[in-house]
């Protein structure tokens, strides 16, 4: 019997989602969208993936993967279950749910760049139909869903919460994390109306173990920012502590290990050469920008951002000092950067501090190479490029460099081999103890 209190389109949508006869549309098949695609396929849904990258579409439709930690066999299984990738936005009316997973970078002035989100929404809107739920997963400032997507849907004559349903549910992917996966990471969800929230819960519940409803899309948007600002601020703190400890000739990694033995009131964060990835270096500035609308200045967040942004330069200062003590200058020195992905055991180079350090070294006249088992050739990036391929690590190649800069501590590196044959190692990740004669902590 039909529930008269529930909008007809909502009842039809939730029934299709519950029975897994709904079609799920994922827009943006990158580090967020592709794992979500595979999870919905695994949960028994037919998935239509939409992306503007034609090469990516071709590979997926051949059952191939372009992300290291995602297996081709998983793509092939999804294809067997009905997954299809396309660049055709006119098919946006086919799915019952549309989930936007596109980048939200910063522009040259460190202000939010919503062009990917808004261009995607504008491409979908002409082909949307009543009865669909639209979910935004891209990290953004509080108010984006209400202020940008809601008016666009209403301009088509849709009544939000009756004809179509609009939610925000922030992505929480952690590429390369062996302990948590798309299914097991709880999913925060906020709706524009109570009916929208009900649609969002119905959308995610079949695929995610735990859905966490919040009162609004703004609360959901701010939840994601708080998660990443929490990390950025604490990493900024421990990076500042590293600088202090270095001046005092104390090993900060030893201090962190000792502090982490306290069973309450302390969470260990680890220093490094700077922040990388698509979230932590970027997301805090979304809130900083939005807070100005309310006459507020996020001094604490901005200070952490300054500290983290300065770390690549501080590390290169340590490289310079270490070379000087050996009678060498940076200019003309051969430098091997170990690891150019932004984090351990992934190939993702977005916002990688390794690349910034490579550019600083190049500007200072160093001859720069890199070794990274996850990045065989340096890819073309919007802002950076080196015409390089990853160096094979053997005794002869390691010994040929004046300094080895350990930037990303991939599991695949043979650290004993590196230590044994390197003339000098500058270690930004605490891999080596401080007592080694050819190792400098940074």
pLDDT band at 223 (very low <50, low <70, confident <90, very high): very high
The yes or no reply on domain 8-215 and CATH 3.40.50.720 is: yes
CB 311 within 8 A of CB 240: no
Confidence band for 4, pLDDT divided at 50, 70 and 90 = low
pLDDT in tens, 232-279: 999 999 999 999 999 999 999 999 999 999 999 999 999 999 988 777
For 378, which DSSP code?
Answer: P
Catalytic option among 101, 189, 196, 279: 279
Average pLDDT over residues 403-425: 97
Q: Is 279 a catalytic residue?
A: yes
Average pLDDT over residues 303-312: 93
pLDDT at 3: 60
* DSSP 3-state of 440: strand
d(CA 29, CA 375): 20
**Rounded to two decimals, what is the model's pTM?**
0.92
Q: Are 64 and 57 in contact (CB under 8 A)?
A: no
Between 364 and 4, name the one with better pLDDT. 364
- DSSP code of residue 149: I
Tokens 């990493």 correspond to 235
Domains 8-215 and 232-441 agree in fold: yes
CA-CA distances (angstroms) from residue 12 to 69, 131, 254, 397?
Answer: 37, 8, 58, 64
Four-way CATH pick for 232-441: 3.40.50.720, 3.40.50.300, 3.40.190.10, 1.10.3720.10: 3.40.50.720
Least confident residue range of 64-68, 166-170, 393-397: 64-68
Q: What is the pLDDT of residue 1?
A: 47
Break the chain into its structural domains and give their ranges: 8-215, 232-441
């Amino acid at each position: 019997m039909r529930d008269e209190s529930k909008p007809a389109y909502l009842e039809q949508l939730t029934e299709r989602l519950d029975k897994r006869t709904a079609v799920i549309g994922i827009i943006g098949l990158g580090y967020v969208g592709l794992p979500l695609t595979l999870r919905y396929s695994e949960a028994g849904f037919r998935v239509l993936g939409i992306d503007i990258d034609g090469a990516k579409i071709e590979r997926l439709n051949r059952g191939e993967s372009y992300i290291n930690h995602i297996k081709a066999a998983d793509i092939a299984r999804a294809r067997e279950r009905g997954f299809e990738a396309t660049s055709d936005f006119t098919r946006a009316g086919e799915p019952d749910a549309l989930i936007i997973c596109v980048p939200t970078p910063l522009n040259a002035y460190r202000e939010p760049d919503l062009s990917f989100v808004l261009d995607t929404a504008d491409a979908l809107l002409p082909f949307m139909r009543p009865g669909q739920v639209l979910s935004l997963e891209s990290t953004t400032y509080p108010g984006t869903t209400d202020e940008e997507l809601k008016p666009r849907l209403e301009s088509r004559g849709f009544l939000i919460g009756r004809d179509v349903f609009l939610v925000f549910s922030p992505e929480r992917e952690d590429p390369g994390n062996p302990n948590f996966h798309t299914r097991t990471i709880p999913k925060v969800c906020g709706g524009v109306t109570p009916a929208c929230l009900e649609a969002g819960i119905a959308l995610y519940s079949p695929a995610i173990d735990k859905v966490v409803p919040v009162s609004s899309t703004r609360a959901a948007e701010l939840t994601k920012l708080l998660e990443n600002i929490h990390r950025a601020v604490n990493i900024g703190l421990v990076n500042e502590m590293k600088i202090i400890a270095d001046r005092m000739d104390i090993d900060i990694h030893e201090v962190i290990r000792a502090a982490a033995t306290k069973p309450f009131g302390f969470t260990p964060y680890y220093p490094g050469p700077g922040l990388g990835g698509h979230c932590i270096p970027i997301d805090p500035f979304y809130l900083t920008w939005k807070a100005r609308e309310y006459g507020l200045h996020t001094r604490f967040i901005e200070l952490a951002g300054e500290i983290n942004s300065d770390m690549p330069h501080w590390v290169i200062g340590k490289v310079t000092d270490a070379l000087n003590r050996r009678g060498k200058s940076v200019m003309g020195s051969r430098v091997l950067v170990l690891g150019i992905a932004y984090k351990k055991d992934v190939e993702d180079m977005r916002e990688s501090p390794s690349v910034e350090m490579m550019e600083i070294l190049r500007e200072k006249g160093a001859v720069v190479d890199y070794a990274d088992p996850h990045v065989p050739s340096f890819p073309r990036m919007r802002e950076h490029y080196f015409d390089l391929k990853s160096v094979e690590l053997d005794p002869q190649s390691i010994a040929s460099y004046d300094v080895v800069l350990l930037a990303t501590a991939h599991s695949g590196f043979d650290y004993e081999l590196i230590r044994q044959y390197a003339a000098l190692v500058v270690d930004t990740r605490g891999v080596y103890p401080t007592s080694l004669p050819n190792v400098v902590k940074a």
